Amino acid sequence: MLTPTLARGPRTLCALSAGLAIVALNASLAAAQTFGFATMQPGTLNHTSGSAVAKVLKEKAGLNVVVQPTAGESVLIPLVSRGEAEFGIANILEVQAAKASAPNLRLIGSLHPLRGAFWVRKDSNMRTMADLKGKRVGMGYSAMKTIDPMIKAILATGGLSEKDVTPVLIPNVIRGADDFTSGAADMFFFAFGAPKVREVDATVGGIRALEIPENGMAASKKILPEGYLSPAVPNPFFVGVEKPMGVYSWDNMIFASSKVSDEVVYKVIEALESNKAELVAIQPALREFSVEALYKNYDIPYHPGALKYFKDKNITAKSLN
């Protein structure tokens, strides 16, 4: 006896074949489409993180993802919201600041923590934040507007404000590092893990990360509640850390345009989870990536594809640090 499906004859088989062809066509179209991944400039940690993600998505998930460097996070976030790049990476402070003007931005999640420092020359006598009093400090960050409040928050840990230092106006962290190298500033701020930090370290003959006193965080949080201290020890990643200490930390986010399909975003998370070793080989900061840590209680819309993934894997939103 024929099975019910076969008994329906050629018409059913044709419909089934057509359905399979549509699925195959959709997969082919996803593979053929070029997806832009907006990052900061080469030399930044976020450019390296974005490059690692793009490489894995291209080689392991069959998605043609191309890195699109920009002048800064305040530039790239609207780019993704407008759909001019499908994906982006930026720190949570920039994302929160831009959410009202970026209505089509959807979170995929927290890719990894960001940790940063104020670095000075190793041969200087500066060791703590308080030692920056009267020194030339990079401020302004016209292309990275949320960095300036962070600078003020970190200064506050040493009992300082912008009135206690000599501001050097800069557009972004790359310029700040270059000004420090040239001697135009006495410090620079950057995220640990960025190639630029190692470049500056080699260029000036060694750098030191200034220590943040834990009792200074109360004053810091009055300026920027999202910041917190996390432990760091001397190792190749924590350039300039001379002893175990707390370093300034905040979350780094990966996100997508609302125009990106649920299936593609779901596939992105699957690829990241399955290929962590490949991510870490390019960007050591991604050692802390996990799908469980992606989902946090931020008051910003998550992409439906990400929410479906979290539901399927029984992942619940984590509280904020």
Same domain? 120 vs 245: yes
206 plus 290 within the same structural domain: no
- Is 204 inside a domain boundary? yes
Considering the chain, what percentage of its residues have pLDDT values greater than 90?
80
Question: At 164, which amino acid appears?
Answer: D
My answer on whether 132 and 235 are in the same domain is yes
Whole-angstrom distance, CA of residue 22 vs CA of residue 26 = 6
CB count in 10 Å sphere of residue 182: 10
pTM reported for the whole predicted model: 0.74
| End position of a domain, from candidates 250, 276, 304 | 250
Determine, yes or no, domain membership for 226: yes
Q: Say yes or no: 122 and 229 in one domain.
A: yes
Mean pLDDT of 36-47: 94
Pair 129, 244 in one domain:
yes
261 pLDDT higher than 90: yes
For residues 151 and 225, membership in a common domain is answered with yes
Cα distance from N-terminal residue to C-terminal residue, the chain: 64
Question: Are 57 and 156 found together in one domain?
Answer: no
Helices 173-182, 195-204: crossing angle, 10 deg rounding: 10
Q: Which residue has the higher pLDDT, 120 or 319?
A: 120
> Are 155 and 132 in contact, with CB atoms under 8 Å apart?
yes
Average pLDDT, the chain: 90
Q: What is the CATH classification number for the domain harbouring 66?
A: 3.40.190.10
Query: Is residue 1 assigned to a domain?
Result: no
Tokens of 282: 């390019």
Answer for the pair 162, 136: CB distance below 8 angstroms, yes or no.
Answer: no
Instruction: Say which DSSP state 100 is in.
Output: G
Q: Is 224 found in the same domain as 102? A: no
Residue 238 and residue 213 share a domain? yes
Q: Which pLDDT tens digit goes with each residue over 124-159?
A: 999 999 999 999 999 999 988 889 999 999 999 999
Q: Which of 250, 265, 281 is the last residue of a domain?
A: 250
CB 132 within 8 A of CB 186: yes
Q: Which of 210, 227, 250 is the last residue before a domain boundary?
A: 250
In this prediction, residue 2 carries a pLDDT of 38
* DSSP-assigned beta bridge partners for residue 254: 89, 109
- What is the residue range of 260's domain? 26-113+251-312
